[in-house]
Structure formats: structure tokens, C-alpha cells
Structure 1
Amino acid sequence: MKEFVVYTALRIVLFMASFGVVAGVMALVFDGRFNLFWAVILAFLISGIASYYILDRQREAFARRVESRAAKASAAFEERKAREDQD
């Protein structure tokens, strides 16, 4: 679960940073006023694209962890199934 928490926390930080930059740029361009809806939408888009490249290592670690847990669960299931078949 550590990998999930790290990846999620970094995604949140990346979104907040993107929102800060987008809101700041919009405030500069529109004389201190900006549309919150569009600032959030742009921040989601920017942080999503950026996380694809920036957080690749964390995403891969999380995927490896999930895959290993799924393999262990599958092996345990197959072992129980084989014991049932022997009875």
C-alpha cells in the first residue's frame, strides 16, 4: 500500500501545483479575475499529462506491487483448488 499512498500523494501535489500556476497565469492575464471552473479543468489536464511523464517510476512501482499481490492470490487460489480436487 505504500506505493499507492506515495503515488496518490504525488498526484495531489502535482495537481495543486498545476492549479496554482494556472490560477496565477489566469489572474495575470485577466487582471486578477479568473474562472475557477476553467482553472480546475486546465489544472486536471496539465497535471494528468505531466504525471504520465513525471510519475512514471512511481506508477511502475505501484503496478509491480499490484501484480505481485495478484500472482500470490492466484497461486493461493490454485493451491486450494488443487487440494479440493485431491479430496
Structure 2
Amino acid sequence: MKEFVVYTALRIALFLGSLALVFGVWWAVAGEVPVLWAVVIAFVLSGLGSLWLLNGPREAFALRVQERAARASQAFEEMKSKEDVD
């Protein structure tokens, strides 16, 4: 659960940082900012940035999910074999 919270928090922070950057640059250049376009551009930039910047936390989260799925699968197989014995 910790990995999920860390990755999600970093992803939100990256989006908000991208939004502030896009909003600031657009305001400095044009003097007015269409908010919808700023959000769309920030979303794309944060998505691309997360591919490189958040690789470590994403891998940790994926490993945690894989371990949990393996434990669940093992527990299911144990229950299944227990039913076969009965």
C-alpha cells in the first residue's frame, strides 16, 4: 500500500508542477491562459515525464502487486488442493 501512495503522490505532484510550468510560460507569453489547453498539455507533459522520472517508484509498486498476486494464487492453489483431498 505504501508504494501505491508514494507513486500516486509523486504522480500528482508531477502533474501540478507541469501545470504550474505550462500556466506560467503561457501567461508570460500570451498574457491569458485557456485553462483547458493548459491542463491537457500539462497532463501530456507529466505523463511523458513520469516515464523517466518515476520509473523507480513504478517498479516498486509493480513488484509489490506481483508479490501480492503470487501469494493470492498460492493460497488459492492450497485451498483447491485441500478440497481435492476431501
Same fold at TM > 0.5: yes
Question: Which residue number in structure 1 is paired with residue 21 of structure 2?
Answer: 21
Question: Which residue number in structure 2 is paired with residue 2 of structure 1?
Answer: 2
Q: For structure 1, which runs of at least 5 residues remain unmatched after alignment?
A: none
Q: List structure 1 segments (4+ residues) > 3 angstroms apart after TM superposition.
A: none
Question: Which residue number in structure 2 is paired with residue 36 of structure 1?
Answer: 35
Tell me the amino acid that sits aligned with residue 24 of structure 1: G
Q: TM-score, normalised by structure 2?
A: 0.99
Note the C-alpha offset of 1:53. 0.6
Question: Which residue number in structure 2 is paired with residue 47 of structure 1?
Answer: 46
Question: Which residue number in structure 2 is paired with residue 86 of structure 1?
Answer: 85
Tell me the amino acid that sits aligned with residue 26 of structure 1: W
Note the C-alpha offset of 1:60. 0.2
| CA RMSD, Structure 1 to Structure 2 (Å) | 0.4
Matched residues in 2 for 1:60 and 1:29: separation?
A: 38
Question: Which residue number in structure 2 is paired with residue 12 of structure 1?
Answer: 12
Note the C-alpha offset of 1:65. 0.1
- Paired residues, number: 86
Q: TM-score, normalised by structure 1?
A: 0.98
Matched residues in 1 for 2:9 and 2:69: separation?
A: 23
Q: 1:10-43 CA distances to partner (integer Å, 9 max, x unpaired)?
A: 0000000000000001001102x11000000000
